[in-house]
Structure 1
């Protein structure tokens, strides 16, 4: 359970951070404000890049916290600037790495409730939370962030999404 949550989220959050760094470098090389990238969206009714990063961090922190029986970290307010998003990612990683592995590993059959932004609580076991909700949600948002940057012209390849082979 730990490897399927914390062990998965942390490396991909690091990859997401590196994607944002490449976005900044791209914008600076072309002499435009990197914040322009953060407002991009694939469709009018989809979250923009900043919100995609925010949601990836939310799913990456809430799921392991629920599995560990802890309160999720209070993430910084969602900022539409690269430094703010990088701080959000760093806070997420630090929090996830602080969670007790044994408690997460023991949570496969534990009943947990994921609270949506509107206050609705969705019931899961620890295993179904990860396999049917949090991991798919996380990768949806990380992939969409990658796609937005790629669509903007940032030179990214699959290896940028997947990250280094050594883990």
Structure 2
């Protein structure tokens, strides 16, 4: 059975976004339980040359809901203008991504799968892809990179979390 582009992209993003929403809640509780400030976690980075938590939340939104909204235009340029600087803002950004993905239809993605999408950065068109290849070979790896880095920062700061926290709710077979 062949997968649609929707099946290959949307449900997995939704699953990991759900895990990230739960991780935000655990991170906020951790701060309160350990007498830390929100900034102790929100501003944390794996190293000086990597982004802190807000940019990773924004990036999973960019490489899931936002990218799908940009595919019909024929160009994608990352949008990092509104970084979520609080736990509530992170939850809102993750919810917005979930809500946008829930509205995407199979037909909508199949209609743009073969369209050309240009990756634009700094006003320059750097690469071109088909819509399908952009989602699966560019946005999806970026999505997982930023979701994983978000998780890794929280682990590094001492949260007792594991793989199931990252994964969110798997799509199990129902009767």
TM over 0.5: yes
Aligned to 1:136: 141
Q: In structure 1, list runs of 5 or more residues that go unmatched.
A: none
Report deviation, 1:44: 0.8
Say which of 2, 5, 26 aligns to 1:22: 26
Q: In structure 2, list runs of 5 or more residues that go unmatched.
A: none
Work out the CA distance in 2 between the residues paired with 1:98 and 1:35. Answer: 34
**TM-score, length-scaled by structure 2:** 0.83
- Conserved in 2, the CA contact under 8 Å of 1:76 and 1:88? no
**Distance verdict in 2 for CA 1:103–1:7, change over 3 Å:** same
Aligned to 1:51: 55
Corresponding residue SS for 1:80: coil
**TM-score, length-scaled by structure 1:** 0.87
* RMSD, aligned α-carbons: 2.3
Aligned to 1:149: 154
Corresponding residue SS for 2:83: coil
- Conserved in 1, the CA contact under 8 Å of 2:20 and 2:168? no
- Residue 97, structure 1, aligned to residue 102, structure 2: yes
Report deviation, 1:88: 0.9
Work out the CA distance in 1 between the residues paired with 2:163 and 2:115. Answer: 35
**Distance verdict in 2 for CA 1:49–1:5, change over 3 Å:** same
Report deviation, 1:75: 8.7
Work out the CA distance in 2 between the residues paired with 1:119 and 1:76. Answer: 16
- Answer with 1 or 2: which has the greater Rg: 2
Report deviation, 1:161: 0.8
* Number of equivalenced pairs: 164
- Conserved in 2, the CA contact under 8 Å of 1:39 and 1:49? yes
Q: Deviations over 1:37-81 (max 9, x none)?
A: 1101111111111111111111112332244x2699x89821321
